[in-house]
Amino acid sequence: MEDQGESDFDLVDALAEAPDAEVAAALPGAGLAAAATVRFLRRVSGFANARGREIWHLALPIMLSQVLVSFVGLVDIAMVGRLGAIDVAAVGYATQLYFMSQSALFAVGFACVALMARAIGGGDHARARAALAASLGAAVLTAGVVASVVLVAPRAVLAWLNASPEVAELTIPYMRLLFVSSLLLAVSLTLEHGLRADRDTSTPMRIAFLVTVVKVALNVLLIFGLLGAPRLGIIGAGIATVVSQVVAVSLFVWVIRHRDAGGAVALRAADFAAARGMLWDVIKVAMPGVGERVVLNMALLGYFAVLGGYGTVAIAAYTVGVRILAFSWIPGTGFGAAAATLIGQSLGAGDGDGAERTGWMAARIALVAAVVLGFVGGVAREPLARLFTNDAATIEALGPFMLILALAQPMMQVHFTLGGAHRGAGDTWTPLLAAAVGNWGFRVPVATFIAAHHMSLIWVWSALLFDHGARAVWLGIAFRGGRWKRKGLRGSRAVPHA
């Protein structure tokens, strides 16, 4: 595999590094420049060494999966956007609350990767399966608790977010469908993280493709009532979400059931019995991650409430803008997930220095990708906005927001990646502290101050820069300090080698 990865660049490298003066002199200046450029790009992109190529190998399928997930979100907004600003705002409120459940499930998934990867690195597949089974139980329980909390008094929650009565009435039935789907998401997301821990990121990508096809097809039929289907508006989008999650769970269970017995993800009934001994380990690693997501989402809800004071158009702009710019967040999440797997397995094998090099390599690659994608998102912000809404006021509010997010991309990608690196080592406290500092130390106070002084909406958007900048600095300093590495190595010694 490594020889094949090198072969694509052998000729260019030979030209760029040719020591023979006669050979070099015979090359045209443009050829030398091209060779040097390719060599530079290869180095900054990580393809110049095996570690970088391994990061790309794991990260690319994750990125493609995230592209599909983001595409589904954009399809929802693009279709609902044709119904009107009130419908878009309703989806925005429901989705923001749904993110609380989704984020908590991601925290359990990160714990699953940390525990499984270290067990796999130490050669103990039975312990890896027990960690996966325990993570499944924790995820379903978490989704049930969050859904119950939100759905007990949905009108009160929406009133706290400054939703108008008209928007609230449209939001509640759609929100109920989303939280039903969160119970299914708990299963599919955990199994996806289990496969990632075993370095299989391609299977979840293929499943994501099939689920996307189902979701988009049902959206078209049920939102607009095509081919004889009832015209259900945003309720149709909610039904499509539930059905697509049923498909996802079915496919993941089929994959797990057909894995070779004895492998790291080949769950059987005995593994669920052994999971009781791992449940506390999952909880210990996941709880700070859940706390991080609660801190983050409560701050986002607070920020959302500030935006609500600026009117429905501001909420609609935020809803559309986040989904468009979500495409440029994908590299950081992909590289962070790849770093988590590789760092966890390195620590399981006792290679702390290799784990650290992996983290810095992933952050460097993500930073390069962020600059490119942030530039594209900033320059093309208005054409992108017009693809997903035809409301002139929403488009006008959306332009400055997307520009701010484009400027924040380098900081965002770095803290996404280094956050994943910490989580792969089982250190979920550091990302929690970074989220608390960024959101409650900067984003919410800055936005609240700006709104209290009746300043322009663009200054509310600018609070994002303070948030993401603070998190990037905090995680960078913590990663260099190395406490995560010492903690990960201590945890790995508890994993017996086969």
* Pair (79, 33) in one structural domain: no
From 197-211, 391-405, 422-436, the region with the lowest mean pLDDT: 391-405
Contact between residue 224 and residue 140 where contact means Cβ atoms under 8 Å apart:
no
Rounded Cα distance between 77 and 233, Å, is: 12
Count of domains for the chain: 2
* Amino acid in the structure at residue 248: A
What SS3 state is found at 46? Answer: coil
pLDDT greater than 90 at residue 188: yes
- Mean pLDDT of the residues in the chain: 81
Whether 487 and 397 map to the same domain: the answer is yes
Instruction: Say how far residue 184 (Cα) sits from the centre of its chain.
Output: 18
Lowest mean pLDDT among 140-144, 374-378, 468-472: 374-378
Highest mean pLDDT among 2-6, 118-122, 287-291 belongs to 118-122
Task: Report which of residues 109 and 162 the model is more confident about.
Answer: 109
Q: What is the DSSP track for 427-488?
A: --HHHHHHHHHHIIIIIHHHHHHHHHTT--HHHHHHHHHHHHHHHHHHHHHHHHHTHHHHHH
* Same domain membership, residue 355 and residue 398: yes
Does residue 35 fall inside a structural domain? yes
**Do residues 159 and 17 share a domain?**
no
- Residue among 287, 290, 279 nearest 104 (CA): 290
**Lowest pLDDT segment from 10-24, 90-104, 379-393, 458-472:** 10-24
Query: How many C-beta atoms lie closer than 10 Å to residue 303's C-beta?
Result: 22
Name the residue among 105, 98, 171, 163 with its Cα closest to residue 139: 105
- Please check whether residues 61 and 23 belong to one and the same domain: no
The C-alpha atoms of residue 191 and residue 491 are separated, in whole angstroms, by 23
Q: Looking at the structure, do residues 68 and 209 belong to the same domain, yes or no? A: yes
Do 187 and 299 lie in one domain? The reply is yes
**Looking at the structure, do residues 404 and 438 belong to the same domain, yes or no?**
yes
The pLDDT value given to residue 96? 74
Q: How confident is the model at residue 171 (pLDDT cuts 50, 70, 90)?
A: confident
Distance separating alpha carbons of residues 26 and 24, to the nearest angstrom: 5
What is the maximal distance between C-alpha atoms in the chain?
Answer: 79
281 vs 285: CA distance, rounded Å: 6
Cα 254 to Cα 127, 188, 199, 240, 244, distances in angstroms: 22, 11, 18, 21, 16
Task: Output phi, psi for 425, to 5 deg.
Answer: -85, 0
| pLDDT confidence band for 20 (50 / 70 / 90) | very low
CB 464 within 8 A of CB 412: no
Indicate if the pLDDT at residue 281 is higher than 80: yes
In a domain, 498, yes or no: no
Measured in whole angstroms, the distance separating CA 81 from the mean position of its chain's CA atoms is 24
Q: Is residue 456 part of a domain?
A: yes
Average pLDDT over residues 66-80: 78
The verdict on 14 and 123 lying in the same domain is: no
**Band of pLDDT at residue 210, cut at 50, 70 and 90:** very high
Tokens matching residue 309: 């004071």
- Neighbour-count burial for 408-423, b at 16+ CB within 10 Å, e otherwise: bbbbbbbbbbbbbbbb
In the DSSP assignment, the letter for residue 49 is S
pLDDT of residue 489: 77
157 in the same domain as 24: no
Q: What is d(CA 95, CA 241) in angstroms, rounded to the nearest whole number?
A: 12
Tens-digit pLDDT profile for residues 335-358: 999 999 999 999 988 888 899 999
Structural domain of 26: 2-43
Same domain, 141 and 8: no
User: Where does residue 226 fall: left (phi above 0), alpha (psi -120 to 50 degrees), or beta otherwise?
Assistant: beta
Q: Please indicate, yes or no, whether residues 156 and 9 belong to a single structural domain of this protein.
A: no
- Residue 330: inside a domain, yes or no? yes
